[in-house]
Amino acid sequence: MSDKNNYSSWTVKQLQQELRKRTLPISGLKAVLVDRLLHNDKEPFSESNTRKRSGAMNSEKLTNGKGKSLEHQFSHEELKEIRHQEREQRRKIVLWRKPLITLHYFLLELFEIIRKEKRSVLKHKKSCTTVAVIGLFMFLAYALEGPHQILISDFKEQTLWCLYWVGLGILSSVGLGTGLHTFLLYLGPHIAKVTLAAWECGSLNFPEPPYPTEILCPNESDPSSVNILSIMSKVRLEAVMWGAGTAIGELPPYFMARAARLSGEEDPDNEDLEELEELIASEDTSIFTKAKKAVPKIVEKVGFFGILAFASIPNPLFDLAGITCGHCLVPFWTFFGATLIGKSIIKMHIQQTFVILCFSKAYVEKVLETLGTIPYVGTYIQSPFQKAVQAQVSKLHGDSANNAGENKNILGFIFEKFVTVMIIYFVVSIVNSLAQSYAKRVDETCRTSKSTKLQSKGD
């Protein structure tokens, strides 16, 4: 390691070894380690500086609500253990374990969020006034009669339809406790419904989105016009809007990590950043760990195309890419542009193709036939699926007599209950997440108070 200024070409282990020699902290991403060494090179080397750096290893800076820095005589490892124990205790604050405390903390955190939003509105009075005036004009245009109502009606339907799918996409990836799997619950079934209708009707001439409550087969059919590409074009608007929503939902981790890096203050209780640091320093050689390590490395080295590659495939580790991009100060449009293209165009066309193939008429018939061949239980499994498909076919042809028994379909009943349970669980996870956020605030306040007392005793 003769070239001490060319730190970018060093490995993380080499950087950490050099930092240990200088008695400097070794935690952080590669970019942080490089910055730390470069900053240290600029400082004049003296005995007093050496003592300061040694003392920094035995003290930890904490930040209270007012942003003031405090130090106490806990070692870095002791503080790490304390924070780990606090996180473990916070994870127990859930509705099914501590319902009263969870609800109490949830309400307090909700009030705190409202208070912050109120302060934010007061800080941006001009912007809020402009938005309010524009909203007032839009309301007047909507309420007053006139020839413009035809355009407004079409615009309203299209806008609400797009916002509906964008909102579902955001809910799928925003991670408020846990993502609501809206592709499985909403977009997937919608694509399946249009696919079944296209093959059964032999046409795609049923209404364009936003669809009415029921899709009915047109009187004229043209089976030659029905193929994978034509079905994809029929549901492209919904799929692209949903994909754009998932891209927007990936922004919070990016902005969080970026803000922490720009402020120069790392949140010691940020579990995502700490997990990323531990992951980089880990010597685990398992396949899953290697895959997780590859995400920040590829994103940091390849940039736009690396982000695009990870956003274009179903990837549960994409949050690591968002945190890495924010922490390494990747430009916003580089991150969001690659994420938007990957998720709303490339990834959504892959998912559309999979659903359309699975619900094509020939494939559905083949699956039903295969279910019937299962020994002993095949007929019992095949029957409810056949009834569900037949009910959908009857509905497409407007057969009200057969639709009367549709509500008795066990698969429809199970799916409705499944959707209800998923939505309830999503709401509960939000309550738990906000309650734990308030508990984190309490832990930080208590730790800062203890630090102040220890410092005053030391003085």
Tokens standing for residue 12: 């993380």
Give the C-alpha separation, 410 to 239, whole Å.
Answer: 28
Report for 12-21, 110-119, 396-405: range of highest mean pLDDT: 110-119
Read off the pTM. Answer: 0.68
| 50 pLDDT higher than 80 | no
155 and 163 Cβ atoms separated by less than 8 Å: no
> Rounded to an integer, what distance in angstroms lies between the CA atom of residue 254 and that of residue 269?
17
What pLDDT is stored for residue 282 in this prediction?
Answer: 61
pLDDT digits (tens, 9 = 90+) for 266-320: 555 555 566 666 665 666 666 766 666 677 777 777 788 888 888 888 766 677 7
By three-state DSSP, how is residue 207 classified? coil
With b for 16 or more beta-carbon neighbours within 10 A and e for fewer, the 173-199 pattern comes to: bbbbbebbebbebbbbebbbbbbbbbb
> What is the reported pLDDT for 340?
93
- Spatial distance between the Cα atoms of 197 and 345, rounded to a whole number of angstroms: 24
What beta strand segments (E) does 57-160 contain?
60-63, 69-72
Residue 140 one-letter amino acid = L
Q: In this predicted model, what pLDDT tens digit does every residue of 353-372 receive, in sequence order? A: 988 988 887 778 777 788 77
Helix (H, G, I), strand (E, B) or coil at 238: helix
Question: Is 328 in contact with 300 (CB distance < 8 Å)?
Answer: yes
Mean pLDDT across 249-273: 71
Q: In the prediction, which pLDDT does 342 show?
A: 92
Query: How far is the C-alpha of 273 from the C-alpha of 266, rounded, in Å?
Result: 9
Which of 215-224, 271-280, 320-329, 368-377 has the lowest average pLDDT? 271-280
Where would I find the H helices in 235-358? 236-249, 251-263, 271-281, 287-302, 304-311, 318-327, 332-341, 348-358
